[in-house]
Structure 1
Amino acid sequence: MATPLSARSFLDALRDEGVTVVEVGDWEHHNRNHKGPWGPVHGIVVHHTVTTGSTATVAICRTGHAALPGPLCHGVITKDGRVHLVGYGRANHAGLGDDDVLRAVIAETSPPADNEANTDGNRVFYGFECENLGDGADRWPAAQVEAIVRVCAALCRAHGWSVRSVIRHLDWQPGKVDPRGPGMDWADVQAKVAKRLGAKPPGTPLPLPQAPKVSVSQLAAAARKDPKAAGTPVSYAGTRTVEAALVDAGLLSKPLLDGHFGTATVKAYAAWQRRCGYSGAAADGIPGKSSLSKLGAAHGFTVTS
């Protein structure tokens, strides 16, 4: 546990670790502090962006979008290894995660498998978004991985933390798979951070979870039913994943809706379809394979027929 570094001390810590820093606008004063407290901080969360192109990636991480205002992190690590500072203070990056994982971070022990979304991570973590499509195929360049190592080592050094204070988004929030892809070996990242800190590498991290599978036909059938007529929302296997993804996309207010596909989910899914460019009858809240596959690619599930 620690008081957040001042913005200037944060910048100095990164530069002292050999990080190439780009200061973006008024990053020192760009935050979401009016929405809740920032600190005490306990660790660092590493994400991937599901975007391509450094300029566009930095822009969206700084400003966010209507449903999820920026900043979406403190720093954006682009493929060339530069770290673009886009905000400082509370940021919309970690969302709700598992309190057991937070306790493990505080204790600096290996995190358990995350199975709850009940704790505000935006208050207690530094967040770094890394430019990557997140499709499991987009390669992580060596310069980008080295920047991640140096960023994490810098903040651990500044706060006196061990490498166990650094976690992946997939360790924190159920349904997440980031960061992943060729060139991203988390055990190697941890070992390199530990080496920079003059410590032994930690044990083997938890394996990357398999992406859950969602049946588009089953989901569409559930969405077509009238929950009001039945008296209760319509249940279907896998809805928890879809609804969690809609929450993460800023289209549904509750983190989980207990495995139901009711009217709120239909409305949220229609908003997702419109975001994908559909309109009229094509944005009726009934999932189709194309829009569902896009949601899954962004939020960690695969689609079956």
Structure 2
Amino acid sequence: MAEPLPVTEFIKALKNEGVEVVEYKTTWRTHNRGKRGDGWGPVQGVMLHHTVTRGETPEEVKRSVQLCWDGYDNLPGPLCHGVIAPDGKVYLVGYGRANHAGLGDDDVLRAVINETKIPADNEANTDGNARYYGFECINLGDGKDTWPPEQIDAMVRVSAAILRAHGWNKNGEGFISVIAHEEWQPGKVDPRGPGYPGHNAVRALVAERLKHPASWTPGAPTAPSTYTVKAGDTLGEIAERFHTTVAKLAALNKTLIKDPDDIQPGWKIKLK
């Protein structure tokens, strides 16, 4: 839990993390929804979305960014703080309260604050616009529009930048300070689509990045090679988190795992 970063520190954190930042308009730093509802802050994490728009051409990217700036008649902009384009550029469109998260589940918020496992979202009783940094990723979200590696890398970098600046991620591999809109508000499905590795895999990539300096460039986003089992973990949950299967994990760790239903806290298991 923390007050939002001063805008200059926000930009510095993104750039230090290797994010290609585009300040969309000169007034973006004061483009926000003001003191509506609970205002903005204290903040607890980062929320990732998709725009439900195209981004195959520069003109389509521009229209998507402008939409996030303007919003809609019944939902004024900004609709996020940054728009992540397919090529990995991040367009900054607002700072302060933004209409991106809406009402969500207070149990999810408590889990984010405590950095524990995210429960299923089944309520909409808490103002997420006041609690999260929001990034919209340009993608149709129709299950067909592909997520390029550059876009996934930018999602990981912006998330890591904010967590690093706030000193979040106390639990190492177990952090959950980055969530998808789907995990916050019932009925939402974003982000999703081919090339998107899954919410748990994105969190794993952010956790891996935070083990290195902000200047670290892995060449391409990759999942960690090992995972340390924590109390309450099951092999099925670990397999889902890292986008693999129980059978593959059992085969990789056959000298350690004799029974897939019996894993112990403290074990360091191979993921690949």
Is the TM value for this pair above 0.5? yes
After TM superposition, the score normalised by the length of structure 2 is 0.73
CA RMSD of aligned residues (A): 1.7
Moved over 6 A (4+): 199-202
Counterpart of 2:159 in 1: which secondary structure? helix
Counterpart Cα distance in 2 of 1:4 and 1:87: 13
Structure number with greater Rg is 1
Give the match for residue 28 of structure 2.
Answer: 27
Counterpart Cα distance in 2 of 1:132 and 1:194: 24
Give the match for residue 4 of structure 2.
Answer: 4
Higher RCO (C-alpha 8 Å, min separation 6): 2
Q: List gaps (5 residues or longer) in structure 2.
A: 55-59, 170-174, 213-223, 229-237, 244-272
The residue type paired with residue 182 of structure 1 is P
1:49 aligns with 2:61: no
Cα offsets for 1:17-72 (capped at 9, x unmatched): 00000001111100002323110000010000001121111000011121110000
Q: Describe how 1:108-187 pairs up with structure 2 within 5 A.
A: 108-162=115-169, 163-186=175-198, 187=200
Give the match for residue 74 of structure 2.
Answer: 67
Counterpart Cα distance in 2 of 1:7 and 1:80: 24
How far the C-alpha of 1:194 sits from its partner, in A, is: 0.7
The residue type paired with residue 53 of structure 2 is T
Q: List gaps (5 residues or longer) in structure 1.
A: 208-305
Larger helix share, 1 or 2: 1
After TM superposition, the score normalised by the length of structure 1 is 0.65
Matched positions, count = 207
Cα contact 2:204–2:242 (8 A) shared by 1: no
How far the C-alpha of 1:188 sits from its partner, in A, is: 2.7
- Percent of aligned positions that are identical: 61
Counterpart Cα distance in 2 of 1:16 and 1:10: 10
Counterpart Cα distance in 1 of 2:203 and 2:74: 33
Cα offsets for 1:145-172 (capped at 9, x unmatched): 0000000000000011124100000000
Counterpart Cα distance in 2 of 1:172 and 1:205: 18
